[in-house]
């Protein structure tokens, strides 16, 4: 089903940019090739990085989990092919900072041997929660560039259902054509993946928004939808204007709804997913294959053979470029992503990761957004006219330039999607987006420092509280001990006195007893003596009587 442009809405600002997409769409998607080594950063998505569960020297199979999810906002990492884990070390990774991060290095054995894949169940009979867990276990993140774990966005939360699931097929940035080619060649994967996500969200409607500069892709999707016989998905052609592929901008165009500042599309009943994410969900749920490869665009005048290729996650860019015929001598700079929102690379010795959608080799003077020699701001207001987020880029610039990171937030800095429209139209060639990124980075750093400081303060206060508590507990123990000693001493004194009294009484009783015995003895002696006297008197009397007679 197709919807006409007259039924659409319009977001503020935006630009009509030269597409340059024909450079990389002349040929079909290139087949996967296996490089000499795979470099797999543990951090390939928003949230907590995954945690390695393999060791150096381990043999791994294609699709095997080599790093587990380390927290809720995290997904596992899988081996893109079979081989040997040779190292787990710090390596340069795709990031504007150019810094290194922990990576698992795999040396392929070129057998490309899969793990034993489990049988899949009919997703239509699966509980949405179980379906989300399967998507998480497959390591799928948003492949449009942000890299947010897909299973979280497929959770409606407190809502029983979502109003609209929007599949982002706009691919609005110049040069990038990986989604375009995906839709042309694998439209069924996209449609089936969209239906799976619709089931997970219990969404009422599913809309696929595609820019009108992709007629072949639009036709392929429509044909696939007709062939499959589904009538619960709408394919909607939208005007080609940058950045129509921005999440909030696409939602505005298709539904007229505006996502709240500092809020999520979920707050207004909408979830937005990329077409490549939909295709990856299809492969994970229907074929039980984890996210181990993706389509990436290699383009620009600085490349000898531009095109789109399906690459194993972890493929070094330099090996890929060499595989495609190398650089043209006119190359001036290398960009990861598009010319508007991408970032310059200082080296091509970095891997393709899950969020990599384009490697752009720009020739001399090709598509320059800002000059290396900016001039003072002339306050023309052109940046404000094109800002799709309805911000005041000039004010943001002044506050960032002055490093006033408190005041800059009063101008909704974090609503900036860093699309680069303001930098593109600036007549003074000021790299405005770079100032905004700098301000965001500094604010995040301050918040991290504040969080660390707060934690340190809390730990210090807790320590003081613990020491005070332990002091009071010691004092209480000493008090009780003294009281116990005093009680014991008093008791001992009383016992001693009692014993003395008892001893005295015993002595008195003993003396009394002795006196009684002596008195009794005296009484007994007197009786005996009287008896003897009586005997003597009786004898004498007898003797006298005998003498008289």
**What is the DSSP secondary-structure string of 508-526?**
HHHHHHHHHHHHHHHHHHH
**C-beta separation of 39 from 347 below 8 A:** no
* The predicted structure's pLDDT at residue 530: 64
pTM: 0.81
Q: With contact defined as beta carbons under 8 Å apart, do 436 and 399 qualify?
A: no
Q: For position 524, what pLDDT does the model report?
A: 56
Sheet holding 100-108, edge to edge: 38-41, 100-108, 83-92, 59-60
Q: Is the pLDDT of residue 174 over 80?
A: yes
Residue 294 vs residues 144, 189, 278: alpha-carbon distances, Å = 11, 13, 12
Lateral strand order in the sheet of 77-78:
51-52, 65-68, 77-78
Angle, helices 187-201 vs 178-185, to 10°: value is 100
Residues facing residue 362 across a β-bridge: 333
Cα torsion at 405, 409, 412, 416 (round to 10°)? Answer: 20
- Structural element, H or E, at residue 134: helix 128-137
Q: Which helix (H) or strand (E) holds 478?
A: helix 432-548
Confidence of residue 144 (pLDDT cuts 50, 70, 90): confident
Helix axes 393-401, 432-548, angle to 10 degrees: 60
Cα 411 to Cα 392: distance, rounded to the nearest angstrom: 7
What is the mean pLDDT of the segment spanning 230-243?
94
pLDDT tens-place string over residues 40-93 = 999 999 889 999 999 999 999 999 999 999 989 999 999 999 999 999 999 999
* Predicted local distance difference test score (pLDDT) of residue 509: 81
What are the extents of the domains in the chain?
Answer: 24-111+125-363, 371-516
Q: What is the mean pLDDT of residues 518-529?
A: 58
Banded pLDDT at 400 (limits 50, 70, 90): very high
Q: For residue 459, is pLDDT > 70? A: yes
Residue 115: its pLDDT value, please? 94
Instruction: Tell how strand 100-108 and strand 83-92 pair up.
Output: antiparallel
Distance between CA atoms of residues 50 and 41, nearest Å: 9
For the chain, how big is the Rg over CA atoms in Å? 45
Q: Which CATH class is domain 24-111+125-363?
A: alpha beta
- CB burial of residue 113 (10 Å; 0-12, 13-18, 19+): middle
Q: How far is CA 498 from the centre of its chain?
A: 76
Joined together, the tokens standing for residue 260 give 């709240």
Share of the chain above pLDDT 70, in %: 93
First to last CA, the chain: 177
Q: Which residues neighbour 2 within 8 Å (Cβ) at sequence distance 6 or greater?
A: 222, 234, 235, 236, 237
Per-residue confidence band for 3, with pLDDT thresholds at 50, 70 and 90: very low
Question: Is the model's pLDDT at 521 over the cut of 80?
Answer: no
**What number of other Cβ atoms are within 10 A of residue 88's Cβ?**
19
Mean pLDDT of the chain: 89
Pairing of strands 2-3, 233-238: parallel
Q: What is the mean pLDDT of residues 94-101?
A: 86
Q: What is the pLDDT of residues 179-205, one digit of tens each?
A: 999 999 999 999 999 999 999 999 999
Q: What's the confidence (pLDDT) of residue 210?
A: 96
Q: How high is the pLDDT of residue 485?
A: 79
The Cα diameter of the chain in Å comes to 185
Tokens standing for 274? 């990329």
Q: Contact 382/426 with Cβ under 8 angstroms?
A: yes
């Amino acid at each position: 089903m197709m919807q006409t442009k007259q039924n659409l809405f319009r977001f503020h600002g935006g630009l009509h940019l030269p597409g340059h997409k024909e450079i990389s769409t002349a040929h079909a998607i290139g087949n996967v090739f296996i490089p000499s080594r795979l470099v797999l950063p543990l951090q390939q998505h928003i949230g907590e990085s995954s945690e390695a569960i393999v060791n150096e020297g381990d043999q791994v199979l294609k699709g095997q989990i080599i790093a587990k999810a380390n927290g809720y906002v995290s997904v596992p990492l899988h081996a893109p092919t079979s081989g040997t884990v040779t190292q787990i070390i710090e390596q340069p990774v795709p990031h504007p900072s150019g810094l290194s991060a922990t990576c698992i290095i795999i040396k392929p054995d070129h057998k490309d041997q899969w793990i034993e894949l489990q049988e899949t169940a009919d997703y239509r009979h699966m509980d949405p929660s179980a379906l989300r867990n399967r998507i998480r276990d497959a390591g799928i993140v948003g492949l449009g560039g942000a890299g947010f774990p897909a299973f979280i966005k497929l959770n409606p939360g407190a809502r029983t259902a979502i109003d609209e699931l929007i599949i982002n097929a706009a691919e609005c940035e110049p040069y990038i054509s990986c989604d375009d080619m995906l839709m042309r060649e694998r439209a069924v994967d996209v449609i089936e993946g969209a239906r799976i996500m619709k089931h997970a969200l219990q969404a009422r409607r599913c809309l696929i928004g595609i820019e009108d500069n992709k007629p072949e892709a639009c036709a392929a999707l429509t044909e696939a939808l007709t062939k499959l016989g589904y009538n619960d998905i709408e394919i909607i052609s939208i005007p080609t204007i940058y950045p129509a592929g921005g999440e909030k901008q696409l939602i505005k165009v298709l539904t007229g709804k505006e996502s709240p500042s500092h809020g999520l599309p979920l707050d207004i009943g909408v979830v937005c997913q990329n077409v490549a994410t939909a295709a990856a969900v299809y492969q994970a749920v229907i074929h039980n294959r984890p996210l181990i490869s993706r389509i990436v665009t290699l383009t620009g005048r600085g490349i000898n053979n531009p095109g789109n290729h399906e690459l194993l996650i972890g493929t070094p860019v330099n090996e890929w470029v060499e595989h495609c015929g190398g650089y043209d001598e006119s190359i001036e700079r290398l960009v990861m992503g598009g010319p508007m929102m991408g970032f310059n690379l200082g080296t091509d010795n970095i891997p393709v990761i899950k969020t990599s959608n384009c490697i752009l080799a720009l020739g001399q003077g090709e598509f320059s957004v800002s000059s290396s020699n900016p001039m003072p701001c002339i306050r023309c207001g052109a940046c404000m006219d094109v800002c799709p987020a309805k911000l005041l880029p000039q004010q943001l610039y002044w506050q960032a330039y002055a490093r006033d990171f408190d005041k800059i937030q009063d101008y909704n800095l974090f609503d900036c999607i860093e699309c680069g429209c303001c930098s593109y139209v600036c007549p003074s060639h000021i790299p405005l987006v770079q100032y905004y990124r700098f301000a965001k980075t500094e604010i995040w750093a301050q918040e991290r420092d504040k969080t660390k400081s707060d934690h340190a303060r809390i730990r210090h206060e807790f320590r003081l509280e613990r020491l005070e508590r332990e002091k009071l507990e010691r004092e209480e123990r000493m008090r009780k001990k003294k009281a116990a000693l005093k009680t014991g001493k008093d008791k001992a004194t009383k016992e001693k006195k009692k014993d003395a009294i008892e001893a005295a009484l015993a002595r008195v009783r003993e003396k009394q007893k002795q006196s009684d015995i002596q008195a009794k003895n005296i009484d007994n002696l007197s009786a005996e003596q009287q008896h003897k006297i009586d005997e003597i008197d009786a004898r004498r009397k007898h003797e006298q009587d005998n003498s008289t007679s």
